[in-house]
Amino acid sequence: MTVSGPVALAEAVRDALTETGGIGATVRQIAARIDDHPARVAAVLDRLQGRGDVLRMGRGLWVLRDFEHLSERDGFVDPTEFVERFESENGVSLGRYSGPITFRSNDGLPVHRWWPYVQGYSAEFVRGVLAANGVARGSTVLDPFAGSGTTLVEARRAGAYAVGAELLAPAVLAARVKTRLELDPRRFEREAERVLAAAARRSAGPLPFLRETRRQFFPAALRDLTRLRDALPAEGNDAEDAVRLAFGRVLIPSSRLHRSPCLGYDRRARSTGPSVFERFRTAVAEMATDLAAFGGERARLGPPASVERRDAREGHWPRESVDLAVTSPPYVNGMDYVMNYKVDLAWLGYASSYADLAALRRTEVACDNLPRTETAAYLRTTELPDPWLDELLPRLKENVRRKGTYRRDDMHGIVHRYFADLLPVLDGVRRALKPGGRLVVVVGDSLLAGTYVPGDLILARLAASRGFSIVSVEVARSRRSGQRRTFELRESVVTLERPRSAT
């Protein structure tokens, strides 16, 4: 069925956009709502845009010009309002953190550059936190969401015992290899040469289970990647693990994929540049150079780090064993780590099927690709872990309902589960900290279906409800919302303390 006549169609599109208000809607969503063809809706939107009646926001969303600013919409609670409430209810004013916070500044740094992890933070930030908290030889530093090991590398370099948990196996591999700075670079290079020679004698092997592999990789690269993969040693030893990491490093550069920060695919990308084997050699040479450069530092390193592939929600660390915890959890619906690292998971043999990926996703802190069964227990919108969520989640649920065709109607369940997932981690870290010990968390806020969620402030409030005191919340940088490019989000450093008198 279609709406007849251009005037009626334009009216129907306007009505649909009035309904979805400041949340906006995509061409497909509008077309589904008014039961018309997406191509006809797109043509009407172009005309209305030319007249200045509608605007295009991030991620293909359209809104009526009247809804350009979310703050003008009824019921929208903006970031400033939450900050004011936080300051009056929790007695802490927001400050500023200056200095590089994003991983980008690690890209040129020895060792940190071995596995560019866009979701990580800067080594300089960690060094500053360690120094400000007097971390030295004999201290223990914990990172419950260790990622690629930025905290752990810097803690070892400061002489501390570094302890990390992480669920994403390729990140665990990176963190392990990056913290084993005693590895003899010549032994590593010999192991890499042995693997290359074995790969050169092999013929092409089977492709991993990922359906899009043929489309996403160049044929010659696929052949060499399978040969190299099949020549890799098993995991477990320092030189062998380092060779596996070097292989992991060449996967994305050998494909039409990129991370920016989500995994993206460029259909038109042509096969240019070095071969897989050459890329592997370059990766190995860079790692060996960094290991050699660390030679002089070895005597000052802390004891060997402990990096476990483990769910941080288990909170398994010994009581009162940790001087300082530094971490950054996933952000509220910020990233599906499993989706983003599925190529690494599959090629390195950590996942053999889509069922493996789904199982891993269920144990990671909640993101919006969770199966519905995982949110079923989190759909209620009252008696939530924080009173602010009692206000926020019904609003989010209503916004999704108004939108009609939002990707899923249980978004409020995802957000509920996200904060519920953080609670056992906070409890575990608090137990593990020595009295007076601190937990420093880098975390951001979010805009979801037109509802603003102050993830940093809610995390601080949750921590306060679990026996931490809030030392400070410092805004480190602003980010742009993927949903609405004009909407400014932030990334904050939340510092919490286990009070000395707490049990």
Ligand X SMILES: C[S@@+](CC[C@H](N)C(=O)[O-])C[C@H]1O[C@@H](n2cnc3c(N)ncnc32)[C@H](O)[C@@H]1O
Which residues lie near ligand X (CB under 6 A)? 117, 119-121, 145, 147-148, 150, 165-168, 171, 311-313, 328-330, 337, 363-365
Give 26 or 148: the residue with its C-beta nearer to ligand X.
148
Give 171 or 464: the residue with its C-beta nearer to ligand X.
171
CA distance 72 to 279: 52
CA distance 54 to 38: 16
Query: Following DSSP, what letter does each residue of 400-466 receive, concatenated?
Result: HHHHSS-S-S-HHHHHHHHHHHHHHHHHHHHHHEEEEEEEEEEEE-EEETTEEE-HHHHHHHHHHHT
Least separation in angstroms between residue 117's CB and ligand X is 4
Least separation in angstroms between residue 131's CB and ligand X is 18
Least separation in angstroms between residue 313's CB and ligand X is 5
Give 24 or 315: the residue with its C-beta nearer to ligand X.
315
Give 25 or 168: the residue with its C-beta nearer to ligand X.
168
Give 337 or 378: the residue with its C-beta nearer to ligand X.
337
Least separation in angstroms between residue 144's CB and ligand X is 6
Least separation in angstroms between residue 148's CB and ligand X is 4
Least separation in angstroms between residue 171's CB and ligand X is 5
Least separation in angstroms between residue 438's CB and ligand X is 16
Task: Please choose, from the candidates 163, 146, 119, the residue with its C-alpha nearest in 3D space to the C-alpha of residue 337.
Answer: 119
Amino acid at 231: A
Give 166 or 497: the residue with its C-beta nearer to ligand X.
166
Query: Following DSSP, what letter does each residue of 1-60 receive, concatenated?
Result: ----SHHHHHHHHHHHHHHHGGG-B-HHHHHHHHT--HHHHHHHHHHHHHTTSEEE-GGG
List, in sequence order, every beta strand (DSSP E) within 117-272.
140-143, 161-166, 257-259, 263-265
Q: How many helices (H) and strands (E) would you count in the chain?
A: 18, 14
Task: Please choose, from the candidates 22, 28, 32, the residue with its C-alpha nearest in 3D space to the C-alpha of residue 57.
Answer: 22
Q: Return the number of other C-beta atoms located less than 10 Å from residue 316's C-beta.
A: 14
